[in-house]
Amino acid sequence: MITCHSEFGKIKNLWIKRASAAFIDQATLNTEWKALNYLDCPDYNESIDEYSQFEALLVQEGITLHHFGSNNTVQIDSIYCRDAAIATDFGMIICNMGKAGRMNEPAAQRSDFEKKEISILGVIEAPGTIEGGDVAWLDEKTLAVAHSYRTNPEGISQLKALLNPKGIEVITVDLPHYKGQSDVFHLMSILSPIAKDLAVVYSPLMPISFRKELIHRGFELVEVPDEEFESMGCNVLALSPKKCLMVAGNPITEARLKAAGCEVLTYAGANISVLGGGGPTCLTRPMERESIEVRF
């Protein structure tokens, strides 16, 4: 069985946007990085090399890849292609971005989806906002969504209106202020489900009620240490249950994952991940995964 409602079933196909299509050239990076709150300006040539390694790891897993094309209405943040849409078994939900510099990405992605004849379930309309990094499937009938600076109550209400009639429970998670509105801080900054009973978390920024809910649902928690949070230690993509892809340079988290029985692959992501605040979950828009029957 195949489903879109999973963060940890074996990935069958996904969408990505190559660094060459998002970053365009060094001049574009030089122009856009500050306004988009990157830590520093990525190096274009190093970005291309890093992304080639990243994509090769996906190819070796036998995943079917679809590519978002270049689009002159969007900026370099479009490399983080998870955020502009939510995949469901009923069609795509097109988001409305909470970050002003990314407002054109949902329409650009919708155009690419429609060219592939992928159905659209609905569109989040202003004043509602939702970004895909703020949603995570806990099981095939339960979607967690953050109330954050990028995802507001009106957007969550619209999401529920689309999914509740389909039998999907939507759980709201209130995120803390942390570094404020300009920072990249999504639900998946502190949560990466990697198996039906295992999740990578950064507990210091996790709401107590949600952390308890994960434990109540049977998740064992792999804790990310403070020193590896900013280097994307908590942003882990499950290629299949307990087979993980993460940014290199997080040895403590990597060791804890291996101790929990996981296989871990890493890629160099200084330019394409760390500087822009987007790890492997952000760089991918998984579509179909193998279904794992997990109902709480």
Cross-strand pairs, 2: 290
Q: What is the pLDDT of residue 185?
A: 86
Residue 153: how many other CB atoms lie within 10 Å: 12
Q: What is the pLDDT of residue 294?
A: 55
In the chain, which residues have pLDDT < 50?
none
Bridging pattern class, strands 11-16 and 64-67: parallel
Non-local CB neighbours of 232 within 8 Å, separated by 6+ positions: 246, 247, 250, 269, 273, 274, 277, 279
Domain that holds residue 150: 2-289
Q: What is the pLDDT of residue 180?
A: 81
In a domain, 280, yes or no: yes
Q: Taking the complete model, does pTM exceed 0.85, yes or no?
A: yes
What does each C-alpha distance from 244 to 42, 94, 197, 214, 265 come to in angstroms? 25, 27, 14, 19, 6
In a domain, 120, yes or no: yes
In a domain, 106, yes or no: yes
In a domain, 296, yes or no: no
CATH number of the domain enclosing 80: 3.75.10.10
In a domain, 126, yes or no: yes
Please report which helix (H) or strand (E) contains residue 124, including its range. none
Domain count across the chain? 1
In a domain, 39, yes or no: yes
In a domain, 30, yes or no: yes
**Nearest alpha-carbon partner for 164 in 119, 219, 122, 207:** 122
Q: What is the pLDDT of residue 293?
A: 65
- pLDDT tens per residue, range 196-219: 999 999 999 999 999 999 999 999
In a domain, 295, yes or no: no
- pLDDT tens per residue, range 230-276: 999 999 999 999 999 999 999 999 999 999 999 999 999 999 999 99
